[in-house]
């Protein structure tokens, strides 16, 4: 089981240091792989404070080139130099707000894996696409640009459940995860308003291999509660 906390655009270095110190001090389930994904400016702090623990640090994005004239982007070799373990790629907010394409997701994923990073590649349909009966076609298209790799994990995040408080039913999540796994043989995380109260049932589904947690990962207690829920799934 893998539980990854995506902090989005929250927690500068000072808040990150405080959170990571708390995380160090709390008992953590050793049976669960735990990852935190701070903003770029807080990555170094997280790596330093969590050094010597079993908690990994990942970035929220990564560029496909190793260097060059790409203002505002960060390449995999620089993340590796910081001690970062991996990166999220293709999050729905990147697709929605910043024009991320399937091709871009593919290039970022390949480059990150080639550089030795682990990747959480995100896929998922919008509410309109699901209502139109297009969910499987969307997932098939998004997954088709990815290739199996031992360091690749897919996160299924129904766009309509991100930051909305809506959550896919465990049955719907299971169905979507099974479909993704029929296309690509990799672990699949669920992302979309995962909270301590719904995590046990979601994580108990046979094809749910963990969670990509948003808002509930910003507080140590709620994040660890979800981590503990993964033990019993």
d(CA 45, CA 138): 37
Measured CA angle at 82 (ends 77, 83), to 5 deg: 95
Question: Which candidate in 91, 93, 129, 177 is catalytic?
Answer: 91
Is 232 in the active site? Answer: no
Tell which residue, 156, 153, 152, has the closest CA to residue 142: 156
Is 18 in the active site? Answer: no
d(CA 69, CA 41): 20
Q: Which residues pair with 213 in a beta bridge?
A: 5
Question: Which candidate in 100, 129, 157, 177 is catalytic?
Answer: 157
User: Distances from the Cα of 122 to the Cαs of 46, 144, 159, in angstroms?
Assistant: 23, 12, 10
The DSSP code for 164 is S
Query: Exposed (0-12), middle (13-18) or buried (19+): which is 149, by Cβ within 10 Å?
Result: middle
d(CA 27, CA 41): 27
List, by residue number, the catalytic residues.
91, 157
């Amino acid at each position: 089981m893998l539980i990854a906390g995506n902090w989005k655009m929250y927690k500068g270095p000072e808040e990150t240091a405080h959170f990571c110190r708390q995380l160090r001090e709390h008992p953590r389930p050793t049976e669960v792989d735990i990852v935190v994904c701070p903003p770029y400016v807080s990555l170094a702090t997280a790596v330093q404070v969590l050094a010597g623990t079993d908690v990994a640090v990942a970035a929220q994005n990564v560029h496909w080139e190793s260097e060059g004239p790409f203002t505002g982007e960060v390449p995999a070799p620089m993340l590796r130099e910081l001690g970062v373990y991996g990166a999220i790629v293709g999050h729905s907010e990147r697709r929605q707000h910043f024009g991320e394409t399937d091709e871009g997701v593919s290039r970022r994923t390949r480059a990150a894996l080639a550089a030795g990073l682990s990747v959480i590649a995100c896929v998922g349909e919008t509410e309109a696409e699901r209502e139109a009966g297009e969910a499987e076609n969307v997932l098939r298209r998004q997954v088709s640009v990815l290739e199996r790799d031992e360091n690749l994990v897919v996160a299924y995040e129904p766009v309509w459940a991100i930051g909305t408080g809506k959550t896919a039913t465990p049955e719907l999540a299971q169905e979507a995860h099974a479909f993704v796994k029929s296309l690509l043989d990799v672990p699949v995380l669920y992302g979309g308003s995962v909270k301590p109260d719904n995590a046990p049932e979601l994580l108990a589904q046979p094809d749910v291999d963990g969670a990509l947690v948003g808002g509930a990962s910003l507080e140590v207690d709620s994040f660890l509660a979800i981590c503990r829920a993964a033990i019993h799934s």
